Structure 1
Amino acid sequence: MSTSGDRRTAVAARQFSVTTRAHMAVDDATGEPIGLDDVDTRVGWLLDLVTAAGAGLVSRLWQPATFDVLAAGRDRQDRRLPAQGHVAAARLGWAPIYPDGVYVPSRVSRVVTAQVVATLRTLAYRDTAIAALSARFDPATGVVSPPTGPGDDVPSGFARGVRRQLAARLRRDGGAPAGPLRITEIQEPPRMAAMAQLSAADQQLAQITVADRELVLTVKLPTCPAPAGRAQWRSVRLTATIPAHLYGRAITDWHLPTLVLDRRGLLWRCAATALVPAAALNSATVAVGVDWSPTTLGAAAIVAEGSGGLSSDYRGWTYDDRGLGIKLARLQAEGQLLHRKAARLTRLAATALPEVRAELQAKIAVLNEHRTAVGIKRGRINRELAFDFARQVTDYAAAAGAQVIAVENLTTLKTRGHGQVNNNRAAQSARRQAVAALAHTAAGAGITVVSVPARRSSAQCPGCNEPLARPGGYHDAWCPRCRVGGNRDHVAGVNLAKRALLARNKVTRRRGQMPTIRVAEHAPVRKCRDKNNPTPSRARHRRVRHSLPAATPWLGVTPKQHVPAPQASVWDTVKPTPPHGDAGSRDTHTPLQSATRVEDSMRSM
């Protein structure tokens, strides 16, 4: 709580992440400068040691007993396992093994074990779910029976993936399993990512300081691929600039980054703690509901609570992705085509002659490189799309004075009924990334993002809770009883905002997860004529000259007669009349009368 005069503002600490790159490197002992290419090479040696040791440790621990211990959360002395991964690994006796003659500091081993335990803890939930699903799997029909207990329910997409894995194992082995299967029986050990999470270490390996809008990271790096002693680990001081958009934030602490290598070299993934306005969810009176749309990323609508109950003007806002959605769909189709080509060539190479097999494998390698490049491009566009969407929704909610933003629960959201192509396109959209970006962006404005049930949000009337009619097709919604309607995505946004306001005192909060509302209560939302929807900004157009500059006439040439251009307008349908004497042009010009009629029709809307 911070106080300024008689005005008191509540603040809360929130962590966020940011990426940056070093622009200078020096040896910490001698102060001599080091080339950034040399730093990338030495970081690559560190990542090779971490990745190899982590992969070996995961392979040794890939057995059901490991997941039994992680699921129970107890060690051999029946003590609760600590949350820190490297401490839990030390208590359980899990230690990485390095090649003979290679010296690795104990703090690097902490980084390895922390990453391994985090991966295995994530897969422990999957192991329990696979055991429950395999027990209900019918080998004769290939169908998983419905769950009998409340704890056996898993997301439908996860269940479909496990069912395909069980069916593939049944075809491969030719017989039904004797009992429930574990994750170690149907999956291979996961590959370790080439990264070094320095947050698991202490100051003996790495430390970070802030000075003059710059981050200074001091980290020990090997001087050769296989260091034989402590002398071959030297400290390097790296300096990176803090991004300019963070200058105005109240950052209280910077945490040790995660080091990765990409095509441009060393990349820092830094985490920081900042103070943001604390949102009061229990006293919220205005909410924005965000509905995920099959045509664009999302649409939003506003619901306000007053003395007369809930009200809305049913005029929503639709996000304009500026054509990025079309580009993503094209890249997705291209990636799927490359995948099908590579799979077909793989099947052909399995039975081909040795010389033909070598040619096919070369083509497969090229296709895999192209598919990887397409995936990188899709990831970059998805990130840009997610943060642009988050910024626009946050500005929309702040202009309306909203205290909460309600989004659909992605675990209960099923994409179906729109065809195989559209269903796949919607399933691979950046919804989860957009939710994370929205939660981060809205927190800076003091707005809470909550997850609400998505079932029948676009099929029921917000006023009477009865099914809506579709007089104009799929994208239209109308309730003849309440005489409200419009775009179905906007109506769904009203329902989502209503559920957030009605159940704002029944929010479930879990560590590391978004606040969730699990009940869908109903109260009539009346249509009002009050303006609680922010006015969208209009794009400014360039100025148009009223006359052309005077040109020096040529001798012996009859100059053309020019007509002044029309006055600049916000309506793009107004087109200038062609110059006199330009009848020989093949361009089709719009007559002045028809253009005027289009302008009048647009102004009357």
Structure 2
Amino acid sequence: MTGPGSPAPRQFAFTTRAHVAVDDATGESIGLDEVDIRVGWLLDLIVAAGTELVSRLWQPVTFDVLAAGLDGQDRRLPAQGHVAAARLGWHPHYPDGIYVPSRVSRVVTAQVMATLRTLAYRDTAITALFERFDPATGRIAPPTAAADRVPLGFARGVRRQLIAHARREGAAPSTRLRITDVQEPPQTSAMARLSAADRQLAQITATDRELVLTVKLPTCPAPAGRAQWRSVRVTAAIPGHLHGRAITDWHLPTLVLDRKGLLWQCAATELVPAGDLGSATVAVGVDWSPSTLGAAAITTENPDGLSSDYRGVTYDDRGLGTKLTRLQTEGQMLHRKAARLTRLAATAPPEVRAQLEEKIAVLDGHRTAVGVKRGKINRELAFHFGRQVTDYAEAAGATVIAVEDLTTLETRGHGRVNNNRAAQSARRKAVTSLAHTAAGIGVTVVTVPARGSSAQCPGCDEPLARPGGYHTAWCPDCRVGGNRDHIAGVNLAKRALLGRGKATRRRGQLPAIRVAEHAPVRKSRDKTSPTPPRPRHRRVRRSQPTTTPRSGVTPNRHVPAPEASVWDTVQPTPPHDDAGSRDTRTSPTNATPVARSMRYT
């Protein structure tokens, strides 16, 4: 069954941790610390083999083969990384005397192939950008064809690599420049992607509340035979937010070790309502704001055309943005201080260098802790933002949410500090969280062009005036205006409705609308956007203890406050053995004469 509203499968990720581990053969309990040690030995083998394989394949011919996508017999390379590596004859090597199962080698080759395939795109881009690079000026000429265009942030990174290479080499090379000429082989991540293996290495089963993973782990750092690989059955709890969801399949996790021990990075497949982008008539536009994470507005398509009430809603980050700014400033300060001590340690005497290196290690530890805090806050901020925007779209009856294309969005013109702060905001994480949350109710998230969304009028497509400064916008011809972020949300929603039939879909990415079309959006007198709920806080005085009134006595609920003067700055001295509690009544001495004597003396 297919169509709007019908169930459609989608994959999502989550994390969990084990709480019980037993030996699969004997059933004896194993400590979690022992499991962490054995998983660490497995990751050491994977990292060593992956590093050796990447170093051996770090040649231009490797990227030529990956760019062509064909093996030695001109057959198309399969999507599975370990199968493609087997066809090409790329196998990892291990030290003599160490036995590693073939399924672990599958994990190694799958992770290496994923890295090399990603870098194959960078190799092609480096070659294309080098042809337009001028070593004398350090600039890259604009592209002449649409196929040569790359994201601006990506082009800046390649430009820095080309400038550094030109400084090292001096003269411009006459041959084709490749990625192997401008950077070293990448590091292999310490993780075990078990999804590349089969049941001989790992298998997973699920109950109502728990996941049971059976995986083979080494019993020593250098296993010499099959007997030194034993299966361990590890049990982890299913997170509470997944209980009761229509999950059809649980996939093998990726094992990593962090500061708390073994972490499962899991994936699952569930059924969600299928979205219908082609028949959308109400759209929500989300504009990324420099002052807060984002703002949303609604555009509706009627038989008379597009309309909007131009009343949006701005996301309230509950003070998390201020905390992120403080942590970012602190992290940058720690980075600058560590960089300065590193420069001093390079020319310092040995005894002073040792002291400086100890300080640098402490600063690096603090900087890592700050990064962990920022990551947690960004995750909380992203999912809270996704939940609020999804509820806003559901209340308005929208079936599509339009967000700005982050590949074409560049923060500039607000100063170095503000540009850096906006560039490090959790926008991409917020988009992922929004797409995940919206898909649960059948709402589709699409990306639309960002250029001119907050600078052009949704009605006449002319530049907007700024009568009240940066955060306001006004069109004197259409007589519409308001918050610039809400105006941008109307423009983004309009682009989603006009280009819904021309959206392009690529695997692993959101549906994208590449061209921004224009149609006038008239101002509707009717209220079309929902009013967001506002929390009402009840003021409670917690300083007074709660007492039970005596029966038959009417309590005095309203006690008038004593009269106070603006000069009442002298507090009466409490009597002896009194700490100034509320139960002790002080003398009703008026402080006005005392204040007057202080004033006129």
Give the structure-1-normalised TM-score: 0.90
Structure 2 CA distance for partners of 1:587 and 1:95, relative to 1, 3 Å: farther
CA offset digits 1:115-144 (Å, max 9, x no partner): 000001011101111111112111111111
Aligned to 1:52: 48
Structure 1 residue 52: Cα displacement: 1.0
Structure 1 residue 186: Cα displacement: 1.1
Aligned to 1:118: 114
CA offset digits 1:4-32 (Å, max 9, x no partner): xxxx9411110000111111111111111
* SS of alignment partner, residue 267 of structure 1: strand
Aligned to 1:405: 401
Structure 1 residue 582: Cα displacement: 9.3
Structure 2 CA distance for partners of 1:551 and 1:529, relative to 1, 3 Å: same
Q: Which runs of 4+ in 1 moved over 4 A?
A: 547-552, 580-585
CA offset digits 1:504-560 (Å, max 9, x no partner): 100100111110001111111111122221112122222668x998999xxxxxxxx
Structure 2 CA distance for partners of 1:491 and 1:435, relative to 1, 3 Å: same
* SS of alignment partner, residue 254 of structure 1: strand
**Aligned pair partner of 1:197 in 161, 181, 193:** 193
Q: Distance in 1 between matches of 2:357 and 2:156?
A: 32
Q: Distance in 1 between matches of 2:385 and 2:124?
A: 36
Q: Distance in 2 between matches of 1:581 and 1:550?
A: 28
* Contact persistence 2:298–2:308 (CA under 8 A): yes
Aligned to 1:137: 133
Q: How does 1:285-300 map to 2 (within 5 A)?
A: 285-300=281-296
* Contact persistence 2:10–2:272 (CA under 8 A): yes
Report the AA paired with residue 161 of structure 1: G
Structure 2 CA distance for partners of 1:90 and 1:551, relative to 1, 3 Å: closer
* Contact persistence 2:5–2:442 (CA under 8 A): no
Structure 1 residue 113: Cα displacement: 0.3
Aligned to 1:128: 124
* Contact persistence 1:563–1:579 (CA under 8 A): no
* SS of alignment partner, residue 500 of structure 2: coil
Q: How does 1:55-454 map to 2 (within 5 A)?
A: 55-454=51-450
Report the AA paired with residue 305 of structure 1: E
Q: Distance in 2 between matches of 1:246 and 1:387?
A: 15
Structure 1 residue 360: Cα displacement: 2.2
* Contact persistence 1:132–1:180 (CA under 8 A): no
Report the AA paired with residue 240 of structure 1: A
Report the AA paired with residue 579 of structure 1: P
Report the AA paired with residue 558 of structure 2: P
* SS of alignment partner, residue 26 of structure 1: strand
Q: Distance in 1 between matches of 2:234 and 2:78?
A: 32
Q: Give identity over the alignment, percent.
A: 77
**Aligned pair partner of 2:465 in 440, 463, 469:** 469
* Contact persistence 1:562–1:579 (CA under 8 A): no
Gaps of 5+ in 2: 550-554, 572-601
Q: Distance in 2 between matches of 1:411 and 1:279?
A: 24
Aligned to 1:564: 558
* Contact persistence 1:155–1:412 (CA under 8 A): yes
Aligned to 1:595: none
Aligned to 1:486: 482
* Contact persistence 2:5–2:275 (CA under 8 A): no
* Contact persistence 1:457–1:492 (CA under 8 A): yes
Give the structure-2-normalised TM-score: 0.90
Aligned to 2:577: none
* SS of alignment partner, residue 446 of structure 1: coil
Report the AA paired with residue 458 of structure 1: S
Question: More displaced, 294-303 or 359-368?
Answer: 359-368
Q: Distance in 2 between matches of 1:449 and 1:151?
A: 26
Structure 2 CA distance for partners of 1:581 and 1:483, relative to 1, 3 Å: closer
Q: Distance in 1 between matches of 2:408 and 2:384?
A: 25
**Aligned pair partner of 1:43 in 18, 39, 43:** 39
Q: How many residues align?
A: 564
* Contact persistence 1:548–1:564 (CA under 8 A): no
**Aligned pair partner of 2:20 in 20, 24, 28:** 24
Structure 2 CA distance for partners of 1:297 and 1:581, relative to 1, 3 Å: closer
Structure 1 residue 345: Cα displacement: 2.1
* Contact persistence 1:17–1:270 (CA under 8 A): yes
CA offset digits 1:232-280 (Å, max 9, x no partner): 1000111111111111211110110000111111111111010000011
CA offset digits 1:483-516 (Å, max 9, x no partner): 0010000000000000000111001001111100
Q: Distance in 1 between matches of 2:153 and 2:71?
A: 33
Does 2:562 match 1:579? Answer: yes
Structure 2 CA distance for partners of 1:578 and 1:510, relative to 1, 3 Å: same
Structure 1 residue 430: Cα displacement: 0.6
Aligned to 1:601: none
* Contact persistence 1:215–1:242 (CA under 8 A): yes
Q: Distance in 2 between matches of 1:176 and 1:252?
A: 57
Q: Distance in 1 between matches of 2:331 and 2:282?
A: 42
Q: Distance in 1 between matches of 2:187 and 2:73?
A: 31
Report the AA paired with residue 401 of structure 1: G
Question: More displaced, 474-483 or 92-101?
Answer: 92-101
Structure 2 CA distance for partners of 1:550 and 1:361, relative to 1, 3 Å: closer
